[in-house]
Structure 1
Amino acid sequence: METRTRSLVKAVIWNIIGLAAMTLVGFLATGSASLGGVIALINTVIGFTMYLLYERVWSRIRWGRRHV
């Protein structure tokens, strides 16, 4: 089972990468760095929350794991 701290760190790192990518996409789509940043921030908050919940649910599912 994965610890909550590990899940949290993984989610934060993943969302930093996603924030950078989404900021670029938002800027390219709108032509505005500030609007692109707001879009990216909203996306990051939603994505972070969903990813963290997803990881925690899967950490409790035993299917597909090998027991040593």
Structure 2
Amino acid sequence: MIADQLILNKKESKTTYKEDKTSEKPLRSVAKAFSWRVIGTLDTLVISYLLTGKISLAASIASIDFVTKMVLYFFHERIWNLIKWGK
């Protein structure tokens, strides 16, 4: 039933995101990804330091974590933005 509604809504509505006021612009998703990753990276940095005792290793881990998770979050947000459920 929910799948039918999602499919029907998709077929009935062929709008661009400029016309769809419930969608977020990609730039907003980037800003959200960046701000969340700053918080997440600080968390990773602290945990990595506590586990390794080496700030250089902790910073390396946190740097890689920052980039990969920001990219993953951006695409996660964009995919969820396509789903009409809950809007």
TM-score relative to the length of structure 1: 0.90
Q: CA deviation at 1:59?
A: 0.7
- What are structure 2's unaligned runs of at least 5 residues? 1-22
Q: CA deviation at 1:8?
A: 0.5
Identity %: 37
Name the SS for the 1:34 alignment partner. helix
Greater Cα radius of gyration, structure 1 or 2: 2
Q: What do residues 4-58 of structure 1 show as CA deviations (whole Å, max 9, x unaligned)? A: 1110000000001111111001111110001001011111111111100000001
Paired residues for 1:53-68 under 5 Å: 53-65=75-87
Runs of 4 or more, structure 1, over 3 Å off, are: none
The equivalent of 2:48 in structure 1 is 26
- What are structure 1's unaligned runs of at least 5 residues? none
TM-score relative to the length of structure 2: 0.72
The equivalent of 1:50 in structure 2 is 72
